[in-house]
Amino acid sequence: MEFLSKLRSFIWSKHFLKHTGFIVLTYIVIVGGTVLYLDSYTNHGDRIEVPNVVGKKVSQAQLLLEERDLTIELLDSVYRPDLPVGTIVSQDPEATRKTDVYVKEGRIIRVQVAKNTRLIEMPSLIDKSERFAESVLKNRGLKYRKEYRETNEANGAVLQQLYKGAPIKEGKRIPIGSVITIIVGKNEGGMPVELPNLVGMTISEARGRLSGTSLSLLLGSCEGCLNEQDSTSAIITIQGPEYISEGAMIPAGTTITVSASKTGTP
Span 29-61, pLDDT tens digits: 776 666 555 555 545 446 889 999 999 999 999
User: Mind listing the pLDDT tens digit for each residue in 160-197?
Assistant: 999 999 999 999 999 888 999 999 888 665 567 889 99
Which run of H or of E encompasses 225? none
CATH architecture of the domain covering 191-266: 2-Layer Sandwich (3.30)
pLDDT in tens, 242-251: 988 888 888 8
- At 45 the pLDDT is 47
pTM passes above 0.85: no
- CATH topology assigned to domain 48-115: Trypsin Inhibitor V; Chain A (3.30.10)
Question: What sign does the dihedral 102-105-108-111 (CA atoms) show?
Answer: positive
- The domain limits of the chain are 48-115, 117-188, 191-266
CA distance 130 to 147: 11
Q: How far is CA 167 from CA 83, 115, 125, 129, 172, in A?
A: 33, 27, 12, 18, 11
CATH of 117-188, one of 3.90.1410.10, 3.40.50.2020, 1.20.1440.230, 3.30.10.20: 3.30.10.20
